[in-house]
Amino acid sequence: MQEADFDVGAEIAALTAGHARAGAVASFVGLVRDSDHAAEHGGSGEDHGTPATINAMTLEHYPGMTEQALEDIVSEARQRWNLLDVTVIHRVGRLLPGERIVLVAVASAHRGEAFAACEFVMDYLKTRAPFWKKEETPQGGRWVDAREADDQAASRWSQA
């Protein structure tokens, strides 16, 4: 958890340093969008087809629980796949469109495990880590609603 931006290249270099067996790194970077296309469906606005403009986004979190939740998610990923190392960085505070929010990077011997574990960590982070987004729009502040699609994405990992 940090307010400052991160350097993706430097983080990946640090992740694989000392891991001579690392043959693969899969990474995901989440960014702040400048508009919310979800708002044009099911939203209350009358101007269908025009995405809501987002001027900035503020990320709130639950200090202490956030760290614990992320550690639990990474440790579950390590039980499911043979991973060499995992980096998770999540920013908090006020961010502008285009800014990086989150980085998940996974190193493993082969790509299959790195791809799967990276997606798993993001799916669980979205549904289990205590972060909340508030968008600043021309119409005022608006807390982002949780998405059903995120729950579905996370639940596929628990199917037998």
Partner 1 sequence: MPIKILYFASLRETLGLGQESLELNATIDSVATLKNHLAARGEPWTALAKMKNLRAAINQRVVNADNAIADGDEVAFFPPVTGG
- CB-based contact 123:150 (threshold 8 Å): yes
Q: Does 32 bind partner 1 (CB under 8 A)?
A: no
CA angle, residues 50, 149, 87, in degrees to nearest 5: 105
Residue whose C-alpha is closest to residue 67's, from 4, 144, 139, 128? 128
**46 binding partner 1? (CB under 8 A):** no
Q: Using CB under 8 A, which residues numbered 94 to 113 contact partner 1?
A: 101-102
Applying CB under 8 A, among 127, 136, 137, 157 the residue interacting with partner 1 is: 127
- Run of H or E including 53: strand 52-53
Verify binding: residue 129, partner 1, rule CB under 8 A.
yes
Give the interface segment with partner 1, choosing from 11-19, 45-53, 112-120, 132-140 (CB under 8 A): 132-140
Distance, in Å, from the CA atom of 33 to the CA atom of 77, rounded to the nearest integer, reads 28
132 binds partner 1 (CB under 8 A): yes
CA neighbor of 36 nearest in space, from 49, 48, 54 = 54
Comparing CA positions, the residue from 60, 61, 56 lying closest to residue 140 is 56
Q: Which is nearer to partner 1, 34 or 60 (CB)?
A: 60
Q: How far is CA 106 from the centre of its chain?
A: 13
Q: Which stretch binds partner 1 (CB under 8 A): 6-14, 44-52, 106-114, 121-129?
A: 121-129
Region near partner 1 per CB under 8 A, out of 2-10, 44-52, 59-67, 112-120: 59-67
Task: Please name the amino acid found at residue 157.
Answer: W
Under rule CB under 8 A, residue 71 binds partner 1: no
> Which residues would be at the binding site for partner 1 (CB under 8 A)?
30, 59-62, 64-65, 68, 90, 101-102, 122, 125-134, 143-147
